[in-house]
Amino acid sequence: MPALRVTDLVKTYGDKRAVDGLSLLVPAGSMYGLVGPNGAGKTTTLSMATGLLRPDAGTVEVLGHDVWSDPVAAKALIGVLPDGLHVFDRLSGRELIRYVALLRGLDRRVADTRAEELLSALGLADDAELLVCDYSAGMTKKIGLACALVHAPRLLILDEPFEAVDPVSGDMIRQILNAFVASGGTVLLSSHVMEIVEALCDSLAIVLHGRVLAAGTLDDVRQGDSLTDRFLDVVGARHLESESLAWLHSS
């Protein structure tokens, strides 16, 4: 059974089709990358897959549970890190992890232990008493990841987990995700940095205009090229005309 099965997903805003009949199959135990240029519909797709945005049509199944007809069971299996949404940032880092853990139904003692372990694993132990609104962008990403992990999900859905994260923290996150997949978990992450996806993921899908242009294992998709070249090839790269923006050339 796939960890995530997305079938013919559609979302329309006014007359713009943000997601246009998108289907996706994320095998259990894989590290799956969702790549595409800005505005391709990655965030919209992930929002619908996690139950934050109601799709106009299509279905989403997490390990056999439909996200929209059986939401409680499906949501218990996934850990989510959205991009561009606030967190309860007037809580301290420790309070935020505990809050999410307790809402997930964990026992208070378990919540406390896991919060401490996550804080130290992500290098946030020294800032655990600081309010999240005083965190840097990278620290906010890390605390978001901690909240997504705290109930030991089977599937992690991460929207741009490496954005604004410094190299040291990025490596830390990579190690955590690799260990998570090695122990049988599944990760679906979106990114527009090809190098990250190429180094980390075993499978991926390229999305453009709300549709999947190419999908499969890393080697299937890149067909011998580097992923960046293959990506630019698939989505259609544009070259800057030589005479445009001439006024920028000061010398």
Report the distance separating Cα 75 and Cα 133, nearest Å: 26
Report the distance separating Cα 3 and Cα 8, nearest Å: 17
Q: Classify strands 203-208 and 57-62 as parallel, antiparallel or unpaired.
A: unpaired
- Provide, rounded to whole angstroms, the least separation between the CB of residue 213 and another protein: 27
Which one of residues 66, 89, 163, 202 is an interface residue with another protein (CB under 8 A)? 89
Which one of residues 8, 16, 56, 71 is an interface residue with another protein (CB under 8 A)? 71
Report the distance separating Cα 141 and Cα 159, nearest Å: 10
Indicate whether 172 belongs to the interface with another protein (CB under 8 A). no
Indicate whether 63 belongs to the interface with another protein (CB under 8 A). no
Which one of residues 56, 129, 171, 220 is an interface residue with another protein (CB under 8 A)? 129
Report the distance separating Cα 242 and Cα 219, nearest Å: 35
Which one of residues 33, 36, 41, 82 is an interface residue with another protein (CB under 8 A)? 82
Indicate whether 141 belongs to the interface with another protein (CB under 8 A). no
> Toward another protein, which CB reaches closer, 105 or 236?
105
Q: Tell me phi and psi for residue 83, to 5 degrees.
A: -110, 135
Which one of residues 15, 38, 54, 242 is an interface residue with another protein (CB under 8 A)? 54
Q: Please, what is the end-to-end C-alpha distance for the chain in angstroms?
A: 61
Indicate whether 100 belongs to the interface with another protein (CB under 8 A). yes
Cα separations in angstroms, 97 against 43, 67, 81, 192 = 23, 24, 13, 28
Indicate whether 152 belongs to the interface with another protein (CB under 8 A). no
- Provide, rounded to whole angstroms, the least separation between the CB of residue 140 and another protein: 12
Buried b or exposed e, range 214-237, using 16+ CB within 10 angstroms: bbeebeebbeeeebeebbeeebee
> Toward another protein, which CB reaches closer, 127 or 198?
127
Q: Which residues bind another protein (CB under 8 A)?
A: 50-54, 71-72, 75-76, 78, 80, 82, 84-92, 94-95, 98-100, 102-105, 108, 128-131, 133-134, 147
